[in-house]
Amino acid sequence: MEKQNLFKKFIYSQKTAPYVFLLPFAISFLVFFAYSIFDTFVMSFQRVAGGNTEFIGLKNYQVLFNPIFFKALKNSIFYMIVTCCIMIPFPMLLATALNSKSMRCKNMYRSLLFIPALTSVVVAGVVFRLMFGELPNSFMNQLIARFGAEPIIWLRRVPTVWLVLFLLCIWRWTGVNMMYFLSGLQQIPEDLYESASIDGASAIQKFFHITVPLLKPTSVYVLTISIYGGMAMFTESYILFNGNSSPNNIGLTIVGYLYKMGFEQNNIGLGSAIGVVLLCIVLIINVIQLKFNGGIFAKRKEK
């Protein structure tokens, strides 16, 4: 009885309760995040080799800044920018269309657009790789042959590789982003549209002057996760090129380079250095982006 009381006292105490509730997060943060980050920093100054691990100073960082690293970085940033440019306006328009009253078969379209999100990226990548085969009898080459075009070597040439990667991204993620926007649209009060209609606003005017501004919080959120997603892209390229080795590194991403150096070539120290540099880059991009958009920062001030 005494014991239980003590326990109750402890749990219901205003002073201790917050710490108790925070504990699970704090522990998992310390073990899985803080420790790993710390160790990554340490390893980025080492040559990691089981029992023979030794400190080698800044060697990993000196080696890191080589043309292949910059190519991978360029690829990742390009992918991130283009996907952000496509994956915000396009799903927003679709969501608006699906939200409008005059749209028929809403649920069918919603499901159709969302189904790709349920497939594994690996499966999707394999299907895309086979569809975009380079022989004349591959699916896409047969398709373009109907329009009289010559077969294309899709996955070993620069512009078409990007086309395939963006198509895969659009196919896979449009439904997810559309769902975010749909839920954002549901928050916009109907009377705003009504009063705009009374004032004689056209559908296009309503979209640009009501929908887009009021969807801003959702857009900022989608932009933030798209930046993460774009910079972290790895699986798509790994599967599309059947194992992380694209010709002349045309599809090598920064995480792909980390994987290549750290795991494939047994250079965990260099891999860690790439991870550290990547962390800094993404941190900087997102802090700037959020500041620019007044995202988190502005909202907190309002309160």
Partner 1 sequence: MKRLFTVLAVLILSISFVFAGGSSEAAPAAAAPEMDGSTQGTNTFVEGGTELSLWTFQELHVAFWTQMADEWNAQYPDRAINLTVSSAESGALHNRLLIACQAGVGTPDIADIEIGRYGSFLRDGYLLPINDAVEPYQDDVIMSRITMYGDGTGNWYGIDFHLGESVAYYNMDIMNAAGVDPADIVTWDDYLEAGKIVLEKTGVPMCVVETNDLFLPQLMLLEKGGQYVDENGNPNIDTPEHAEVINFIREMIEAGVCIICPGGGLHEEEWYGFMNGGGVASVCMPLWYMGRFTDYMPDLNGKIGIYEIPVWNEGDVRAVLQGGTGTSVLKFTQHEQLAKDFLAFAKLSEFGNRYEWEVLGFDPIRTSLWTDPTITENPDNKYLQYFLDNPFDILNKNGVDLTAPDIRGGYSAAYSVLCSTTYVNAFEMSIDTPAEELLANEQATIIYY
Question: Using CB under 8 A as the criterion, which residues of the chain lie in contact with partner 1 when the complex forms?
Answer: 29, 32-33, 36-37, 40, 47-52, 59, 63, 66-68, 120-123, 126, 130, 133-135, 137, 156, 224, 228, 231-232, 234-235, 238-239, 242-249, 252, 255, 258-261, 263-268, 270, 275, 278-279, 282-283, 286-287, 290, 296-297, 300-301
Q: How many CA atoms lie within 13 A of 243 on its CB side?
A: 2
CB of 218 to partner 1, least distance (A): 17
Taking the least distance from each CB to partner 1, the nearer of 189 and 247 is 247
CB of 13 to partner 1, least distance (A): 24
> Which residue blocks in 65-120 are alpha helix, DSSP H?
67-87, 89-99, 106-118
**Residue 256: CB partners within 8 Å, gap ≥ 6?**
72, 234, 237, 238, 244
Best CA proximity match to 115, nearest among 179, 183, 180 = 179
Taking the least distance from each CB to partner 1, the nearer of 92 and 278 is 278
Neighbours of 294 (CB within 10 A): 12
Distance CA 124, CA 126 (A): 6
CB of 296 to partner 1, least distance (A): 5
CB 261 within 8 Å of CB 270: yes
CB of 236 to partner 1, least distance (A): 9
Taking the least distance from each CB to partner 1, the nearer of 50 and 148 is 50
Distance CA 38, CA 36 (A): 5
CB of 216 to partner 1, least distance (A): 17
Taking the least distance from each CB to partner 1, the nearer of 91 and 275 is 275
Distance CA 95, CA 89 (A): 10
Please provide residue 232's backbone torsions phi and psi, each rounded to the nearest 5 degrees.
Answer: -90, 0
CB of 14 to partner 1, least distance (A): 20
Taking the least distance from each CB to partner 1, the nearer of 124 and 215 is 124
CB of 69 to partner 1, least distance (A): 10
Taking the least distance from each CB to partner 1, the nearer of 56 and 163 is 56
Taking the least distance from each CB to partner 1, the nearer of 53 and 99 is 53
Determine the longest span between alpha carbons in the chain, in angstroms: 87
Distance CA 175, CA 115 (A): 8
